[in-house]
Amino acid sequence: MKQRALLLYSGGLDTSVMIKWLQEEMDFDVVTLTLDVGQEKNDLEAIAKKAEKLGAVSTITEDVKQKFAREFVSAGILNDGMYQDRYPLSTSLARPLMALEAVQMAEIHGCDTVVHGSTGKGNDQVRFEISIKALNENLNVIAPVRDMNMNREEETEYARSHGIEIPYGGKYSVDENLWGRSVEGSSIEHPQEAVPYDAYRWVLPPEKAASVPENISIQFHSGLPVELNGKPSELTNMIAELNVKGGKNGIGAIDMIEDRLVGIKSHEFYECPAAMIIITAHKYLESLVLNKKESQLKKHMDQTFSEMVYNGLWYDPAMEHIMHFQKSVNSLINGKVKLKLYRGNIVPMGVESDNSLYDISKSTYGVGQTFDQSKSPGFIYVFGSQTMATIKGRKKLEREITINE
Ligand code: ARG
């Protein structure tokens, strides 16, 4: 019996070429797995048909949107996940889920090899391979695009000579899921130029955005958004809705120079309207509810989480400890945040929580204040004592040096 390979199949040129290549050059039987993580072009049936036509012995398609939202995006929200403070990790968070599905399907369908379509220059190869191996170290992992080192022209030629339909992919390299859209390549490779508007799909540029502001409210429970504008909303639906609302109001376009794990600097463009809105609201509510030490500790955890997710370490055991901390601290994050969406801006319009630490009787300059200001001079004396002592000491030293000279 021939060996079987499970291929993570998107229906695009790279992975279509791979179906043929794995059969012809590697003598594999190919099982394809296509996942719906909320990408726009998700005619899963047509993709499966295409795989069949190219000789796949079995084609699997799965809608994993809810699993993605509940287990991966929700962790992104609890952790305010942002790589280099700007990128909400949309592509990065989907990879460990895809690896998990691939491993499970490989085991069910008797495949000893998992194949993915990443190149050798990006972060995704790292995420797939570490995740797959962490879940089942006996599986082989191969990445033909990287390992064959075929360029786009060679691939197109291979496709032509093997009767593979060449999909119109546009000029950019795009990865999409419900948490965001990543766009690379073509003129985006030149950071000295503005990202052209034809790279935008979800977000209107500010000058074309709605001219009337849109007010929204988000209710959080244990750190997760549960209601939008007063109506309960399941996370997948809320994200879809906020992607539309945000996009219409020019929110969520991110232009960044990014440091990839593989040491390359790259110019990336992202569209993540829902992620930007939800994380902004979540952080605002946190600032009302957490004390200063809790916030500092959380920021540290948030950054470690983001770095680990970006670097493909979702399945590292340290992640479990981070999640315990985050669940504990997020159990306090209950309340409502009101926001105004307007031409690329997310403006806070009020925040409230039963766990609020804000005490107007302490902070007010008006009547009814309870803060005993007479205690402040003593506090300042003690707090500043070391600074004062250091200044005095250094001045004395300076005088001595001048006298000795
Ligand atoms: N730089 C991002 C990341 O590493 C996005 C990569 C997405 N890939 C793409 N073909 N656009 O998570």
- Answer yes or no: 173 catalytic: yes
Which pLDDT score, from 0 to 100, does residue 271 have?
98
Sequence-distant (≥ 6) Cβ neighbours of residue 160 within 8 angstroms: 166
Which pLDDT score, from 0 to 100, does residue 380 have?
97
Minimal CA–CA distance to 26: which of 134, 143, 181?
143
Which pLDDT score, from 0 to 100, does residue 169 have?
65
Which pLDDT score, from 0 to 100, does residue 259 have?
98
Binned average pLDDT, 10 residues per bin, the chain of 405 residues: 95 93 96 96 91 97 98 99 98 98 98 96 97 98 89 85 81 95 95 96 95 98 98 98 98 98 97 99 98 98 98 98 98 98 98 97 88 95 97 92 86
Q: What are the pocket residues of ligand 1 if the criterion is a CB atom closer than 6 Å to any ligand atom?
A: 91-92, 122-123, 173-175, 182-184, 258, 268
- Answer yes or no: 160 catalytic: no
Which pLDDT score, from 0 to 100, does residue 82 have?
98
- Answer yes or no: 124 catalytic: yes
Which pLDDT score, from 0 to 100, does residue 220 have?
99
Q: For the whole model, what pTM was predicted?
A: 0.95
Radius of gyration of the CA atoms of the chain, in A: 26
Q: How far is the CA of 131 from the centre of ligand 1 (A)?
A: 17
Which pLDDT score, from 0 to 100, does residue 152 have?
76
Which pLDDT score, from 0 to 100, does residue 154 have?
86
Which pLDDT score, from 0 to 100, does residue 226 have?
98
Q: How far is the CA of 172 from the centre of ligand 1 (A)?
A: 11
